[in-house]
Chain A
Amino acid sequence: EVVLVESGGGLGKPGGSLRLSCAASGFTFGSYAMGWVRQAPGKGLEWVSSVSGSGGSTYYAESVRGRFVISRDNSKNTLFLEMNSLRAGDTAVYYCAKHYGDDWRLNWLDPWGQGTLVTVSS
């Protein structure tokens, strides 16, 4: 069974940083692309970023490009999201999700973790 467990959420200050982690199990981690999707309170889903299985290809939503960095450690089956220059608009539940294939292109996201809440406030 595929299990994804996010951690690292919490309260961050505007302009500050947070690092999210996603521990994966139940599949060959390095063979699949992974992504982050966020959901602001009471709102819809917004894709944030994805990384290929090897880690060599990444893509970001315009809203986070230049501020967030996605990475992965395939030896530890862990996905990361380094969030810098935080803004109030980054407040959301952040979900980690597995892409269907080893590239994020042309591959949907399933399953998703339970999410971790990030709140940006002074």
Chain B
Amino acid sequence: DIGMTQSPDSLAVSLGERATINCKSSQSVLYRSTQRNCLAWYQQKPGQPPKLLISWASTRENGVPDRFSGSGSGTDFTLTISSLQAEDVAVYYCHQYFSAPLTFGGGTKVEIK
């Protein structure tokens, strides 16, 4: 199984400041045939299902604000919110879809300082 470890568990950032969330996989999730990393990021607000923000480690979904960006390769990944807005308060999860069982990080709770 590929373990996904997120850090920090929680994060308090001032409005307009940068938030950075890290995700580390226990094995590489790089799919060599396409040279793409099988890593997604989700945002979950209270009482709602997770919403996909980023796939292939860095491809932002349609409609996702460009303040959200994903980076990294192999086993180390980062989700960055460049300028935190009030509506970004949520729990963020990384997810590997490289191999079964599919696994998720433990989540990072982002709050306003």
Contacts and interface: CB of A to CB of B under 8 A. Distances in A.
Contact of B102 (A50, A112, A113): A50
Nearest to B44: A45
A47 B102 contact: yes
Given A45-B93, A100-B55, A115-B49, A106 B107 contact: no
Interface residues on B, range: 20 to 34
A112 to B, nearest CB: 4
B40 A47 contact: no
B13 interface: no
Interface residues of A, number: 23
Contacts of B103: 47
Given A44-B93, A46-B104, A59-B100, A106 B31 contact: yes
B106 interface: yes
Contact of B101 (A62, A109, A113): A62
Interface of B: 31, 38, 40, 42, 48-52, 55, 61, 93, 95, 97-107
